């Protein structure tokens, strides 16, 4: 249900027929690649790797790599490392200039 953006209460509010149809359609989709199982499970299917570039993702991965390198500390008394629970997102402006977490 989360794949459709539904919370459990919203899911339960749907008519049973709609829920069954959504589950049946979902069962046709490969959870690994997102294609129809009838497509991706064909033996001998020839596929070629393709590439897209996302510079936002690249910048986030670079920031994370630097933060991991900078924060190679032992876990604190609770067993947590400085990056545990940290999520990183990117913005066009530095909205937290006093935050030294990413400074190298
Ligand atoms: Zn697949």
Query: Does any domain span residue 45?
Result: no
- Ligand 1 centroid from CA 35, angstroms: 6
26 contacts 3 by C-beta, under 8 angstroms: yes
Question: Both 63 and 102 in a single domain?
Answer: yes
CB atoms within 10 A of CB 19: 15
Phi, psi at residue 29, to the nearest 5°?
A: -100, 135
- Tens digits of pLDDT across the chain (104 residues): 677 888 999 999 999 999 999 999 999 999 999 999 999 999 999 999 999 999 999 999 999 999 888 887 788 889 998 889 999 999 999 999 998 888 87
pLDDT at 51: 97
Question: Both 61 and 27 in a single domain?
Answer: no
- Ligand 1 centroid from CA 72, angstroms: 37
CA atoms within 13 A on the CB side of 41: 8
Locate 54 and state its tokens: 């996302």
Ligand 1 (single-atom ion) residues, CB below 5 Å: 30, 32-33, 40
**DSSP tag of 36:** B
Q: Where are the beta strands (DSSP E) in the chain?
A: none
Q: Which domain holds residue 23?
A: 2-40
Question: Both 60 and 99 in a single domain?
Answer: yes
- Ligand 1 centroid from CA 3, angstroms: 17
Question: Both 78 and 33 in a single domain?
Answer: no
Locate 2 and state its tokens: 């989360």
The pTM of the full predicted model, rounded to 2 decimals, is 0.59
């Amino acid at each position: 249900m989360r794949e459709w953006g539904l919370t459990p209460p919203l899911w339960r509010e749907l008519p049973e027929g709609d829920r069954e149809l959504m589950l049946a359609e979902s069962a046709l989709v490969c959870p690994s690649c997102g294609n129809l199982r009838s497509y991706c499970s064909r033996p001998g299917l020839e596929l070629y790797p393709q590439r897209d570039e996302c510079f936002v993702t690249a910048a986030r991965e670079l920031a994370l790599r630097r933060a991991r390198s900078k924060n190679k500390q032992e876990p604190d008394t609770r067993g947590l490392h400085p990056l545990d629970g940290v999520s990183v997102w990117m913005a066009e402006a530095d909205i937290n200039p006093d935050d030294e977490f990413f400074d190298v």
